[in-house]
Chains A and B, each alone.
Chain A
Amino acid sequence: MTLSADEAARFAALVDEHQEALVTAWTERVASTLRGRLSHAELQRQNGELRRGFQQALAGSAQDLAAEPAAELRAQLAELSSTRARQGFSATETAVSIFAFKDAVLNAFDGVNVRDYVAFSSFVDEAALFTFDSYVRVREELIADQAEQLLELSTPVVKLWEGVVAVPLVGTLDSARAQVVMERLLQTLVDTGSPYAIIDITGVPAVDTQVAQHILKTVVAARLMGADCIISGIRPQIAQTIVALGIEFGDIATKSSLADALRYVLAKAGQNKQSKQSKRREP
């Protein structure tokens, strides 16, 4: 049921006439649902602005929320839900703030026509649903941002020694992350000219066949480029899972700790250097 033009005009007049009482009653209702997490003065100010928004939309004879005169109201509602979403209020608490307007209106005006009120009520419902949508959208944006930050944060490639780089993997390794790790590791190998890389999986909570597959691919790609990979930080539990799942690491060196892996790599690099020096000394 949509609001007709003269109904809208009548409500606009009423909302304007009783503004003081309306805002106070509305604020009280909202305050009781939020249990003191926003100050009374702050709520009063927000509701005052929203009331003006509603009044302008109704005065412009907006029949629903998508209409042109309600543009400012929509902006206000979007703003309200985005701040509430960032402050950690629940979706219900945000929507109830708008629903409370209906109660306040019903209490403030005596003898409102039922048909009028139902039409007005559906307009407010629309507004509340709109806040709900905006709330969800803002939360989704937040989650997407955080996921991206996590991806950036959790895959550093560090230089351990001259010619040795390490990737300490932390957290679950899914395809997207594995791809990022692989690309970053290989690029670092090229940039630094390091012939050895250590992949440390101490921070990986579980290794299933898929995770093992990702790690193996990275090792094979590094080998194709001419670098040697060592896998370190295998916890006892993980070792048991790997054997139980029948995952074969083939001739890839695996060590239980990063220290072991580094010692192994330095010994190997040392051997190479020695044979080179002995070759130089001989003739």
Chain B
Amino acid sequence: MERVPVLKIGDILLVSIQIDMEDQVALQLQEDLADRIVATGCHGVVIDISALDIVDSFVGRTLATIAAISKVLDADTVVVGMRPAVAITLVELGLSLPGIRTALNVELGMELLARERADYDDEEEDADGEDGAETPAVFTS
């Protein structure tokens, strides 16, 4: 059976789907990705579907499931490179892929993830700062 490769780039896992997404391939990808997120401790997943001509409801749901699984493992998921024809078909079918975030290409997708991570870090730091202000004695001692 064909497998979709999962590549690690810095803090991000890149999945570029270049083959037809049969149901079995989609399920295998879901498993592989969960394993890799845990193994590498990455905080972002970029799924490139620019080579996909067809995105049916099953693939759409699998993508949503992958996004949900990644979220549980503390990784954000972005689906990038959807073709116009695919988008139009999905809209005509009334599938709006809820729970999936998208970007136009891999570059913009990685920017989006970096931004999200930065916002998240800011919030954490703010939270730390507040803690520090409340209990300065702990820090000085």
Tell me whether A224 and B104 are in contact in the complex, defined as CB-CB below 8 angstroms, given that A217-B91, A279-B121 are known contacts.
no
- A-contact bits for B64-78, CB 8 A (1 contact / 0 none): 000000000000001
Of B26-34, B82-90, B130-138, which binds chain A? B82-90
Q: Is the interface of B mostly helix, strand, loop or mixed?
A: helix
- A-contact bits for B101-141, CB 8 A (1 contact / 0 none): 11111011101001101110110000000000000000000
Tell me whether A193 and B108 are in contact in the complex, defined as CB-CB below 8 angstroms, given that A186-B88, A221-B87 are known contacts.
yes
A217: chain B residues within 8 A (beta carbon): 91-92
Tell me whether A182 and B103 are in contact in the complex, defined as CB-CB below 8 angstroms, given that A226-B80, A276-B118 are known contacts.
no
Q: How many residues of B are in contact with the other chain, CB < 8 A?
A: 29
Q: Is residue A275 contacting chain B, with contact meaning CB distance below 8 A?
A: yes
Please tell me if the beta carbons of A193 and B104 are within 8 angstroms of each other in the complex. Answer: yes
The contact of B103 among A183, A195, A276, A282, by CB within 8 Å, is A195
- Of all chain A residues, the one with the shortest Cβ separation from B104 is A226
Q: Is residue B51 contacting chain A, with contact meaning CB distance below 8 A?
A: no
Please tell me if the beta carbons of B88 and A182 are within 8 angstroms of each other in the complex. Answer: yes
- Of all chain B residues, the one with the shortest Cβ separation from A218 is B91
Interface residue tally on A, bucketed by range: 20 to 34
Q: Is residue A190 contacting chain B, with contact meaning CB distance below 8 A?
A: yes
A195: chain B residues within 8 A (beta carbon): 103-104, 108
- Of all chain A residues, the one with the shortest Cβ separation from B79 is A226
- Of all chain A residues, the one with the shortest Cβ separation from B88 is A221
Please tell me if the beta carbons of B102 and A278 are within 8 angstroms of each other in the complex. Answer: no
B82: chain A residues within 8 A (beta carbon): 224-226
Instruction: Report the Cα distance A171→B41, complex, angstroms.
Output: 54
Please tell me if the beta carbons of A276 and B108 are within 8 angstroms of each other in the complex. Answer: no
B24: chain A residues within 8 A (beta carbon): none
The contact of A222 among B83, B87, B92, B117, by CB within 8 Å, is B87
Please tell me if the beta carbons of B118 and A275 are within 8 angstroms of each other in the complex. Answer: yes
Q: Is residue A25 contacting chain B, with contact meaning CB distance below 8 A?
A: no
Tell me whether A193 and B105 are in contact in the complex, defined as CB-CB below 8 angstroms, given that A186-B88, A222-B87, A225-B87 are known contacts.
yes
Tell me whether A221 and B90 are in contact in the complex, defined as CB-CB below 8 angstroms, given that A276-B114, A276-B118, A278-B118 are known contacts.
yes
Minimal beta-carbon separation of B61 from chain A (angstroms):
15
Q: Is residue B38 contacting chain A, with contact meaning CB distance below 8 A?
A: no
Instruction: Report the Cα distance A279→B101, complex, angstroms.
Output: 21
Q: Is residue B40 contacting chain A, with contact meaning CB distance below 8 A?
A: no
Tell me whether A183 and B118 are in contact in the complex, defined as CB-CB below 8 angstroms, given that A195-B104, A224-B91, A225-B104 are known contacts.
no
B90: chain A residues within 8 A (beta carbon): 221, 224
Q: Is residue B96 contacting chain A, with contact meaning CB distance below 8 A?
A: yes
Please tell me if the beta carbons of B87 and A272 are within 8 angstroms of each other in the complex. Answer: no
**10 nearest A-B pairs in the assembled complex, by CB-CB distance:** A279-B118, A186-B84, A226-B102, A226-B103, A221-B87, A224-B87, A221-B91, A225-B82, A226-B104, A225-B87
